[in-house]
């Protein structure tokens, strides 16, 4: 009987060892699978971090350009307003000038013409005109 018990114990031990090996194999397989996934994820995170680090200067430059564009746009708007004001002033000045010219023309037409300044011309007689040597024949 003792051999039977020992044989059963040995048989049981063998099955028990096989079950443990199978269980440990599954656990080890799952562990190795998770470890491989974790390493891949770590590598992906590392690559993504490197790409982000490469893009940070471009992002900063984009923000700087965005603020510069905003400044330029506000300057353009201010210049447009200034231009519109100057155009209005120019139109007003043109109207005022035209009115002043019309008023000046009206005043000139209503008044007799002023005599010319300077020395009056010497009156020439017909005799002088006949003996004029400056005229061509």
Residue 107 has a pLDDT of 83
Q: What is the mean pLDDT of the chain?
A: 85
Residue 135 has a pLDDT of 55
What's the pLDDT tens digit per position in 54-79?
999 998 999 999 999 999 999 999 99
The domain ranges of the chain are: 7-78
Q: What is the largest CA-CA distance in the chain?
A: 183
Residue 109 has a pLDDT of 81
Number of Cβ atoms within 10 Å of the Cβ of 97: 10
Q: How far apart are CA 23 and CA 4, in angstroms?
A: 28
Residue 87 has a pLDDT of 95
Q: How far apart are CA 125 and CA 127, in angstroms?
A: 5
């Amino acid at each position: 009987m003792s051999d039977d018990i020992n044989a059963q114990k040995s048989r049981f031990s063998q099955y028990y060892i096989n079950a443990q090996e199978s269980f440990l194999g599954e656990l080890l397989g799952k562990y190795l699978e998770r470890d491989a996934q974790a390493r891949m994820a770590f590598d992906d995170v590392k690559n993504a971090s490197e790409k982000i680090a490469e893009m940070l200067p471009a992002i900063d430059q984009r923000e700087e350009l965005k603020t510069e564009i905003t400044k330029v746009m506000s300057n353009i708007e201010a210049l447009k307003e200034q231009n519109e004001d100057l155009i209005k002033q120019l139109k007003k000045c043109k109207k005022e000038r035209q009115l002043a010219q019309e008023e000046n023309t009206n005043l000139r037409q209503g008044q007799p013409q002023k005599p010319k300044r300077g020395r009056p011309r010497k009156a020439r007689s017909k005799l002088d005109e006949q003996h004029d040597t400056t005229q061509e024949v």
